[in-house]
Amino acid sequence: MPFKPTTILKLTLLGFVLVAVPLTIGLLSTVYQVDHLAGQMQKTVHDSTQAVESGRLIAAQALSMERSAGQYMVLRDEAILSRYQSQRIQLAQEIERLLALSHDPALSKRLKRLLAREGSLHQKLQEAARQPSQNEKKLTETERLSELVRPIPFDVTRMIARESHAMNQQISQVQRLLLWQAAALIPLALFIAVVFSVLISRPLRRLSAAIRQLGAGAFGTAIDVAGPQDIRELGEQLDWLRRQLAALDEQKLLFLHHVSHELKTPLTAIREGAGLLRDGIAGTLSQEQQEVVQILHESSLQLQHQVESLLNFNLALTQDKLPASESADLAALVPEVVEKHRLAMRMRNISMESRLQPTVVNGAPEQLRIVIDNLLSNAIKYSAEGGKVLISLYQENQKAVLNVVDEGVGILPDDKPHIFEPFFQGQSPSHGPLQGTGLGLSIVERYLRLHGGFIELIKTRQGAHFRVILPMVIMQVPNVGNKVCTN
């Protein structure tokens, strides 16, 4: 049964083993080649030493034997002949040894000629020993050994040089072999390492994507992670967690929906009752009663604003696409929203400057109106008495760019990473009559995402600067120019 890694650990160990196999083969091959080459070099050095020594001994022995033969031919002394017999045995041994070491045909031929000439000389000495009365006393040129042994050292040197050249060629061949081996095995090991890196990192990336999916609140897509058994089990646990979070999210949305609607009905009754009391329908009120009615009226407005924020937030969370897409001129929506906040700006002596270029986008006009309303409401709420709010709208790179800038206290550094989180309220003091729910910027961010746009906080020296980027459709709209409105 083939081995199938069931865990990341086993897959990693298998990868290490497969990467190590070609490297180990290369290492063993290198050790074998180097060891074999070292043995050959050692043998060559030893043989060269032996050849030099044998060549030297042969030359010395042949010259000594030639002198002994000459002396015997003159003196006819048996001791000299006996010495010659011993010398010729040693000469034969050295010639035999050098023949075994020699790979040079010329040297081998010379050594064989030397043996033949020495044999002829020995035969002549034997004949002289049998005929003592013979007068021949000198050796002829064809009987002298020195003529043949003189070139032997040069032949040995030439043989050693050829052996050294052959060894250098073998070393070069082994080097090329090792280089080709490294060129083949290292890329193979790297390829195996890359393959197993992909096999290991791919399921981990899928897990990371699944975790980011959960973090982004996308609970509708099932999590299915392929890979080793432990990764699949972890993916199944993440999918179980996704289902649990989806159920909790659904319960939360249902709770917000019910609570918002349940609050809206009695709130409407309270607001209408407070309005009737304030208008004197139920009778004339004293000064203290009018103050109480005013408190009820303001509290009902605040509660209505919070309930509407909850309803908008609940609606934004339930949508994954725009309810209906149509052309919306942002330059026409901005004045409508500004007019809604005219009274609040007049009460706090806040001026409004608008620089609007005709800009048409595809989207839901009501959601875009809520985006502008929430941004403008925040700018007014956090502006100081007598401050100024700037709204600019223009086109840039096929995008609609909306800027809302105030001159308030700005956003504290610790609050900046959390301003788009639901129900988060910063530490900066507000000057508005109504306290918010911390949902305004969350709704803005959600609606802009549905429109394919985004919002960012721009660094500024004073106040807060929010920039909205939306994809747009350019249309021929009459140029109304810049409009400045001051209260």
**More reliable by pLDDT, 309 or 59:** 59
| The predicted structure's pLDDT at residue 487 | 34
User: Each residue of 44-86: pLDDT tens digit?
Assistant: 888 888 888 888 888 888 888 888 888 888 788 888 888 888 8
d(CA 391, CA 376): 9
- Please work out, in degrees rounded to the nearest 5, the angle formed at the alpha carbon of residue 107 by the alpha carbons of 102 and 113: 120
Q: Tell whether 284 is covered by a domain.
A: yes
- Is 191 contained in some domain? no
421: domain CATH number?
A: 3.30.565.10
Six-digit token string for 242: 């996704």
Q: Is residue 192 part of a domain?
A: no
**135, pLDDT greater than 70:** no
CA distance 415 to 482: 34
Same domain, 127 and 262: no
Q: Kindly state whether residues 264 and 352 are assigned to the same domain.
A: no
Sequence length of the chain is 487
Q: Which of 185, 201, 219 is the last residue of a domain?
A: 185
Q: Residues 6 or more apart from 53 whose CB is under 8 A from it?
A: none
7 or 474, higher pLDDT: 7
Rounded distance, CA 389 to CA 380, Å? 7
Q: Are residue 144 and residue 273 in the same domain, yes or no?
A: no
User: What pLDDT, in 10s, does the model give residues 237-256?
Assistant: 888 888 888 788 777 767 76
Torsion sign across C-alpha atoms 156, 157, 158, 162: positive
Give yes or no for residue 482 having a pLDDT over 50. no
Q: Mind listing the pLDDT tens digit for each residue in 310-322? A: 666 666 666 666 7
Q: Do 69 and 133 fall within a single domain? A: yes
Instruction: Give yes or no: residues 180 and 240 share one domain.
Output: no
Are residues 231 and 225 in contact, defined by beta-carbon separation less than 8 angstroms?
yes
250 and 181 within one domain: no
Q: Is the residue at 2 inside a domain? A: no
Domain contains 200 = no
Q: Answer yes or no: do 254 and 288 share one domain.
A: yes
**Residues pairing with 389 in the sheet:** 352, 406
**pLDDT higher than threshold 80 for residue 98:** yes
Q: How far is CA 385 from CA 43, 89, 162, 388, 478, in A?
A: 103, 129, 105, 9, 36
Cα 31–32–33 angle (5° rounding)?
A: 95
pLDDT for residue 167 is more than 90: no
- Alpha-carbon Rg of the chain, whole angstroms? 54
Query: If you average pLDDT over each of 41-50, 321-330, 466-475, which comes out highest?
Result: 41-50
Element of type H or E holding 373: helix 365-381
Distance CA 214, CA 235 (A): 12
Domain span at 236: 229-302
258 and 348 co-located in one domain: no
- Identify whether residues 403 and 358 lie together within a single domain: yes
CATH of the domain at 152: 1.20.120.1730
Average pLDDT over residues 254-282: 71
Written as six digits, the tokens of 409 are 């206290």
Report in angstroms the alpha-carbon separations of 269 from 261, 294, 378.
13, 15, 28
For residue 302, the model assigns a pLDDT of 65
Cα 60 from Cα 62, distance rounded (Å)? 6
Question: Is 204 a domain residue?
Answer: no
**Among 240, 271, 302, which residue terminates a domain?**
302
Higher pLDDT residue, 129 or 336?
A: 336
Residue 137 reports pLDDT greater than 50: yes
DSSP secondary structure letter of residue 384 = P
Residue 224: inside a domain, yes or no?
no
Residue 404, classed as helix, strand or coil, is strand
pLDDT at 485 > cutoff 50: no
Residue identified by tokens 């043998």 is: 43
Give the span between the Cα atoms of 106 and 155, in whole angstroms. Answer: 8
* Residue 279 is assigned to a structural domain of this protein: yes
| Total of domains in the chain | 3
Quick one: 120 and 255 in the same domain? no
Query: Are 436 and 356 within one domain?
Result: yes
Statement to judge: residues 392 and 464 lie in one domain: yes
